[in-house]
Amino acid sequence: MYAKVLKNKLAANIRIWAPSDTRSKSICKGQYQLRKIASPMQFAGSLVSREADSAKWALVEGKNIVCFTTNDYKMNEKRIPGAGVCLENAGVYTAFTAAAFNKVIQMSFTTAILILISLKTCMAQVATCKDDGDRDPPNVLSSKLLKSGGNPAWADSRTNIDQNRDHSIIRTMASFVQYHAQINVLAYSDDPPNLPPRNEKSKTKGVLLVNNAADDAAWFVHTVPNFLAYLNAYSWPAAETAKGHMFLCVSFSKVHLNSVGTKISKAIRYQEPYV
């Protein structure tokens, strides 16, 4: 995925953050290069190790693009279907650049990174991304938030991620974990809760929420296994506390639903997760 799709399709140098093996090295020859980001790195005020982090992303140099990817940078995953959600956003790109180039920032410790992006001019009460204040936008359980805006910057989450109130994930997914008659849901995962072990054909997890009564929809992508059971109480898997994770939520109007939904359905058919 990294060499044949991202590097070639985007025609740019790529910096990669994902678990890797000794055989998967930086590729510094040719017109465009693949470089592994040095580990450990400092990310949003945190010291992060590659092998202890479940988040996978790639920085596309010079194009203001960050891609959130599903696959490890390993030889044995070359034949596993993968996907990348790429955001062209200067603010998000700048926030990730500090980590990719290992600029020195103040150090603290956290594991969960949540990014909220809005493609809408107004926000609804359901089927949309929420921050810790319910506003429309690891061994350590606190998280960092990055919201789209004029000058996006990392901010500490108000509440630990294992709590079932007052943090952005539970606020965003309240219509998913509880019954809401207005909401249509498409949930998919390679390793969902209450089902058999993961499907090795893919490594993708997400939820699409559509509000039938308003012009609102949201796409929530994450990296956490056994997480977010539909019509069930919110529950954080304790085994994932010691690992780093990433969450991406994109809010958009129904006018974008056909284009976004078509791409999601194609990705799901290709990767064959549980739906």
Q: Is the pLDDT of residue 214 over 60?
A: yes
Given CA atoms 51, 162, 117, 91 in this order, what sign does their dihedral have? negative
User: How many other β-carbons are positioned within 10 Å of the β-carbon of residue 22?
Assistant: 7
- Beta strand 155-156 with 183-189: parallel, antiparallel or unpaired? unpaired
CA atoms within 13 A on the CB side of 170: 19
Taking only the tens place, the pLDDT of each residue in 152-163 is 666 777 778 888
- CA distance linking residue 239 with residue 139, whole number of Å: 10
Percent of the chain having pLDDT more than 70? 79
Global pTM value:
0.75
Percent of the chain having pLDDT more than 90? 1
Q: Is the pLDDT of residue 200 over 50?
A: yes
Taking only the tens place, the pLDDT of each residue in 141-181 is 445 555 545 566 667 777 788 888 878 888 888 888 887 88
Q: Is the pLDDT of residue 12 over 80?
A: yes
The per-residue pLDDT for 232 is 87
The per-residue pLDDT for 145 is 56
Q: How confident is the model at residue 118 (pLDDT cuts 50, 70, 90)?
A: low
The per-residue pLDDT for 126 is 57
Instruction: Specify which residues 43 forms β-bridges with.
Output: 46
The per-residue pLDDT for 151 is 60
What is the overall mean pLDDT for the chain?
A: 77
> Closest Cα partner for 96 from 140, 138, 61?
61
**Between 107 and 254, whose confidence is greater?**
254
Q: How confident is the model at residue 121 (pLDDT cuts 50, 70, 90)?
A: very low
The per-residue pLDDT for 211 is 85
The per-residue pLDDT for 78 is 78
Q: Is the pLDDT of residue 107 over 50?
A: no
> Closest Cα partner for 111 from 187, 235, 222, 232?
222
